[in-house]
Amino acid sequence: MLTTFDIPVKGSIEDLYRTKQQLYDFLNTLIANKIPENDFMLKELRETMKDLMKRQRTDLKHPRNLSWCLPEDDSGMCSEARVDFMYEPTYIVVSIMTYVKVHYPAVVESIGGYDGVLKNGMRFSTMRNLSGHGYESLDGTAEAVRIFDFGGVPAFLEENKFFCFDLYRLLKNIYRNIVHNLARGTTIAGWNKDYKKEMEAIADKLSVFKI
């Protein structure tokens, strides 16, 4: 296969960051069209996606299961660690799977249970409302939207809202609120920081939604 993903990670914090970067790199490889569409490479992509699906955590307690949580043991994780190593990796995998679903439909059709795994990942992604931790709440939202935009998640859900209505509704509401705040000039958040640029970026990436 093209690559495998060591999830859960049995190692140091450096190993957690390394695996997260591996997910980012694979997403970037897909977007850059660096996977030739020949029978061999499509078979390799199929095996990679099957491996990634198997890495969805079903061993954690609700509500943390059905994520792609990187640490083997999620107990005692602080809010910042949950964003870094549970939520953001899940956003990346959802983006990967959405991109493959849209651009490599024959690969997806050959894998049983693909849509169910993706839907579970999308639903899990809504659990923090895409917020970051603490005073960096809006930073986390901007990063989540950026990740989803890479894989075309907003555009996919705008066309297929009932595939995961929870995530569709969340993204659309974020867009509506951001547009409203920009119109009012309400752009100060967190540590009294002006988030106008971040809000404009979020609005641009979610502009596929109609309000």
pLDDT (tens digit per residue) in 157-174: 999 999 999 999 999 999
Give pLDDT tens digits for 56-90: 999 988 777 899 999 998 888 888 999 999 999 99
Least confident of 57-66, 105-114, 116-125, 144-153: 57-66
pLDDT recorded at residue 135:
62
Q: How confident is the model at residue 136 (pLDDT cuts 50, 70, 90)?
A: confident
Q: Which two tokens stand for residue 47?
A: 């095996």
pLDDT recorded at residue 158:
98
* The pLDDT of residue 211 is above 80: no
- Strand-pair partners of 71: 9
Query: What is the phi/psi pair of residue 111, to 5°?
Result: -115, 115
Give pLDDT tens digits for 6-46: 999 998 999 999 999 999 999 999 999 878 888 989 999 99
- Residues, the chain: 211
Buried b (16+ CB within 10 A) or exposed e, 85-101: bbbbbbbbbbbbbbbbb
pLDDT recorded at residue 1:
61
pTM recorded for the entire structure: 0.95
pLDDT recorded at residue 130:
96
Q: In whole numbers, what is the pLDDT of the chain averaged over residues?
A: 93
Domain boundaries, the chain: 13-159
pLDDT recorded at residue 121:
98
Which residues have C-beta within 8 Å of that of residue 181, sequence separation ≥ 6? 187, 199
